[in-house]
Amino acid sequence: MNNPSAAPVTDLLDAFRRTKVMFAAVALGVFDAFGDGPAAIPGLAERLDADPDALERLLDACVGLELLKKEGAKYSNLPVSDTYLRRASPQSLTGYILYSNYALYGLWGRLEDAVHEGTHRWTQVFRVEGPIFDHFFRTEDNKREFLRGMHGFGLMSSPPVVSAFDLSRFRHFVDLGGATGHLASAACEKYPQLQATVFDLSPAIEFTREFMAGSPLLERLKLTPGDFFRDPLPDGDLYALGRILHDWSEEKICKLLAKIYAKLPSGGGLLIAEKLLNEQKTGPLPALLQSLNMLVCTEGKERTVAEYAALLRAAGFAEVEGKMTGAAVDAVLAIKA
């Protein structure tokens, strides 16, 4: 009797090592160091305050992972790392990578305990109470770096989300918890009739101004500080929640959906951007992994279209449709009768 291939198991045994190589290289500033071109180990080790032999092993691993190129004694960035792994790149994902390294990596190390108890691991791992974001983003640099990383994801995922449905009937788009404004910007680019408001906490709005500085869309975008749980919502006929609902308990979600429904005019809509599970909850794999991520670090989880529809209809919405976008997040559109 032939045994099955062990490849699925052995690949997973190596998976965390590959991930940690990228995390460490980003944290050490390896890809930033090549922003001005190729460099060799001696100068790099001094610049990065690293042991030369250990740094060489790390860089060679990055070559093997197709993040760096090696020619003779010199290393340089490949286009993928130059675009996504340098802090100075407009498409940089380093903020989310650093957050994953410093926060999520430790939380995932307690996944077994999260499954036993059904709760996040923030207190267990970091010995602090309260929302995880309050503790991770202790400095302005932490906040800016994380938002820059989420902005990089948003530049890739927001255009497919706003293209998933025909939104041409709407006139004012209100992005609740809109962070750097990438979703509102994508909506305005796609639909020239739209005006938009980005509504987020005051510290986030200050960063939004930085990210939106010089954008030709600014004259159609209003930036408004506020807390969507506590403060009155801005007027609009299409609200959006991008990567918001998966953070929260069902009780908080129902409270927020009811508040949005009450504010919307008849025929108004709510656009939700989240990873969608299939109805059997057997995939897609990124959504399954993100749901476990929500388990270890928040109150929430990922859901199916049917589960979102049940929450939305309980709030009063009459029409609900979901679509897989093929991007990092999918789309659900709900309409008030």
Instruction: Cite the active site residues.
Output: 246
The alpha carbon dihedral of 209, 262, 313, 270 has a sign of negative
- The answer to whether 88 touches 31, Cβ cutoff 8 Å, is no
311/254 Cα distance (integer angstroms): 7
Using alpha carbons, list the distances in angstroms from residue 149 to 9, 90, 197: 31, 10, 22
SS3 of residue 122 by DSSP: helix
Strands (E), 168-281: 172-176, 195-200, 221-225, 238-242, 269-274, 276-277
Question: What are the residues facing 332 on neighbouring strands?
Answer: 272, 322
225/198 Cα distance (integer angstroms): 8
Tally of CB atoms within 10 A around 283: 10
291/211 Cα distance (integer angstroms): 29
- The answer to whether 90 touches 144, Cβ cutoff 8 Å, is no
The H or E element spanning position 9 is helix 7-28
DSSP assignments along 216-234, one per residue: GGGGGEEEEE--TTTSPPP
DSSP letter (8 states) at residue 181: S
Closest CA to 123 of 115, 300, 97, 131: 131
- The answer to whether 91 touches 152, Cβ cutoff 8 Å, is yes
End-to-end CA, the chain: 62
134/144 Cα distance (integer angstroms): 14
